[in-house]
Structure 1
Amino acid sequence: MTQNHEKTFNGRAGWIAERPIAHRGLHDKSRGIFENTLGAARQAVEHGFGIEVDLHVSSDAVPMVFHDDTLERLTDQSGSIRERSSEELGRISIGGTADNVPTLRQLLDLVGGKVPLVLEMKGIKGKDAGFVAAIGKVLAGYHGPVALMSFDHWLVEDAHHLLPDIPLGLTAEGDDSHFEEHEKIARACAIDFVSYGISDLPCRFVREFRERGLPVITWTIRNRDDMAKSARYADQITFEGFDPK
């Protein structure tokens, strides 16, 4: 099931609403397929879903596909991901499987433009110098649909200035008390789309953003009730743990 697949959007990111987006890839821990791995990305491609993944940067300035700031939750290693080189990270097993921490380049090579990619930049304030530029170098020459987004306003601002040709989104949450905060960054950085927490919908910011003809995706949808809620208040889902088709 794809929400509003016939709706026409303003701007350059309408494609983001064309199909459901697999949150951190199409992962299934019970089958040994972990989040943010090439295995999860491969499954999403095979099922025709878009892919959302998270990006950090290694100690040698290589964008890596990984969610957490530290390694403990998904590996048998500890410490900050940013204190390891891309070569070191590429040898670390995820969940004891054959999958390791992949680079953004490896992900792009696997996907090859076959499905949309939504890349969430995970920032650490004061430590992100060069992060967005490094992402831009890897994305140069990639021809598939791809967009960047972040909760972190400094990364959104960097992407707006450094990578103006790449569609840019704001990841956000919160009730109407956050309207001015979200609206300020969205307008200042000419945001192309919004990714909003489903638990905070409906809200004024999302309603007015959609009234401008721009797409909104939701996170994280884990059941059909939330999928139906998303269909009422947004344009597409970022999902995990069930089949939305």
Structure 2
Amino acid sequence: MPAIEWLTAQPIAHRGYHDQNRTVWENTLSAFTRAVEAGFTIECDLQYAADGVPVVFHDDKLDRLCSIPGDVRAKTSVELGMLSVGGTQDKVPTLSQLLKLVDGRVPLVIELKGRKDDDEGFVASVLEIIEDYKGSIALMSFDHWLLKEAKELGSPRPVGLTAGGIDSETFFVHEEAMHLGLDFISYFYGDLPNPFISKERKAGIPVITWTVRDAQGVEKTRAEADQMTFEGFDPREALIS
């Protein structure tokens, strides 16, 4: 198993340390700079641009973040790099730009946003870009085919399952994914505690939660997981329920 102790060492800023898209928008270099300055681990999302370049962007569509219609995967990384995020000076960054900015100063937890039967080359491209990066990185996804490929390609970085749910059928699917030899789990805090997570934690699998926005989420994480992915507050300050 790749070294992963760093994953739970400090709170993880969801899509960077943004201010809920008021002035500092999610998944932008400004949000990542702010996270570095605060010393938080960064969580972010990757999409696969039309030219085969991984870009940092959450949604499939461009309208919410860039105020134009269209599919993020229909544009090249160069085209996306010219689009304003939230009307700010920030543009859609590439994975390479993110790595250059962070430069190992804080860890990165990167979620791959897949599309079934349309992800050829995605994982391989990500692994190639991060191959020589000196900082701590973990990869994760809801999409089991991406996790399977990352393991088959011999990812030297930790690979984790992003998930949620509370019913037995869902747990069965999650357990199938864990049989790939995954290294950690990112789970929706509102679905804790549950037998699946309790079993995996007992087996030594680290569990982080998503996405904590209030004191209830903080307390649930402390009781049932090992670290939180947060947004909308400063976890260094006390929250009142």
Band the TM-score falls in, shorter-chain normalisation:
over 0.9
Q: Distance in 1 between matches of 2:154 and 2:46?
A: 16
Contact 1:11 1:214 in 2 (8 A): no
Contact 2:20 2:232 in 1 (8 A): no
Shift of 1:42: 0.3
Contact 1:224 1:244 in 2 (8 A): no
Shift of 1:176: 3.7
Partner of 2:174: 182
Q: Distance in 1 between matches of 2:78 and 2:67?
A: 17
Q: Which moved more, 1:10-19 or 1:191-200?
A: 10-19
Shift of 1:179: 1.6
Q: 193, 204, 213: which one pairs with 1:213?
A: 204
Partner of 1:65: 56
Q: Distance in 2 between matches of 1:232 and 1:59?
A: 43
The alpha-carbon distance between structure 1 residues 155 and 242, as it changes in their structure 2 partners (threshold 3 A), is same
SS of residue in 2 equivalent to 1:73: helix
Shift of 1:181: 1.1
Q: Is it true that 1:133 corresponds to 2:124 in the alignment?
A: yes
Shift of 1:80: 0.6
The alpha-carbon distance between structure 1 residues 141 and 194, as it changes in their structure 2 partners (threshold 3 A), is same
Shift of 1:205: 1.1
Contact 2:127 2:155 in 1 (8 A): no
What does the per-residue CA deviation read over 1:25-80, in whole Å, with 9 as the maximum and x for residues that have no partner? 00114651000000000000000000000000110000000000010001122111
SS of residue in 2 equivalent to 1:55: strand
SS of residue in 1 equivalent to 2:61: coil
Contact 1:19 1:49 in 2 (8 A): yes
Q: Is it true that 1:93 corresponds to 2:84 in the alignment?
A: yes
Which amino acid letter does the alignment assign opposite residue 75 of structure 1?
C
Q: Is it true that 1:149 corresponds to 2:137 in the alignment?
A: no
Runs of 4+, deviation exceeding 3 Å: none
Contact 1:176 1:205 in 2 (8 A): no
Q: Is it true that 1:233 corresponds to 2:224 in the alignment?
A: yes
Shift of 1:204: 1.0
Q: Which moved more, 1:17-26 or 1:156-165?
A: 156-165
TM value normalised by structure 1: 0.93
Q: 46, 71, 77: which one pairs with 1:55?
A: 46
The answer for unaligned runs of 5 or more in structure 2 is 237-241
The answer for unaligned runs of 5 or more in structure 1 is 1-9
Partner of 2:16: 25
Partner of 2:114: 123
Partner of 1:41: 32
The alpha-carbon distance between structure 1 residues 165 and 225, as it changes in their structure 2 partners (threshold 3 A), is same
TM value normalised by structure 2: 0.95
Q: Which moved more, 1:22-31 or 1:91-100?
A: 22-31
